[in-house]
Copies of this chain bind each other. A is one copy, B any other.
């Protein structure tokens, strides 16, 4: 496989993976491109590499920056914005995921509370309440593992620094 094949195929794989995870496929393409490019790239360069107009690139790049997956880097004497993948992009993607799981826990928590009082009087609400407690327990347990994993990953990274 040639260098260009590797690049194109990885970009395509990320494009599909991001789409499957419910994000825009352009997000995946930009992430993949910056992930494997040693130097920071300008919007124009990204636009050129991905064969897309600058409008969407600009918007998605901002979203990715908001989620700390990529960052702007200042290059002296240059007026363009340059982007690169953040140092711990995999860990960061995971942290973003954990925050949506935290929302799930809070959902369970909230509905368990709100249904508690009514549960005694109504068997259907009692069932509802039980499910919400299960939900809360599940995501609470999950969070402890998320913390442990991130700790383990931080250690592993420290051992073999980029």
Interface residues of A (CB under 8 A from B): 1, 3, 6-7, 9-10, 13, 17, 19-23, 35-38, 90-91, 94, 100, 103-104, 107, 111, 114-115, 118, 122-125, 127-128, 130-131, 134-135, 137-139, 141-142, 145, 148-149, 152-153, 156, 160, 162
CA distance A115 to B145 in the complex (A): 33
Nearest CB of B to A46, in Å? 17
Q: Taking A23-B22, A35-B131, A149-B145 as contacts, is the C-beta distance between A3 and B118 under 8 angstroms? A: yes
Partner of A90, one of B91, B134, B145: B134
Closest residue of chain B to A152 (Cβ to Cβ) is B141
- For this chain, the copies found in one complex come to 2
Besides A3-B118, A36-B127, A134-B162, 4 other A-B contacts (C-beta < 8 A): A3-B125, A10-B107, A137-B160, A145-B152
Instruction: Please give, as numbers and ranges, the residues of chain B lying within 8 Å of A125 by CB-CB distance.
Output: 3, 6
Query: Are B114 and A17 in contact (CB-based, < 8 A)?
Result: no
Cβ contact within 8 Å between B21 and A128: no
What's the Cα separation between A145 and B146 when bound, in Å? 8
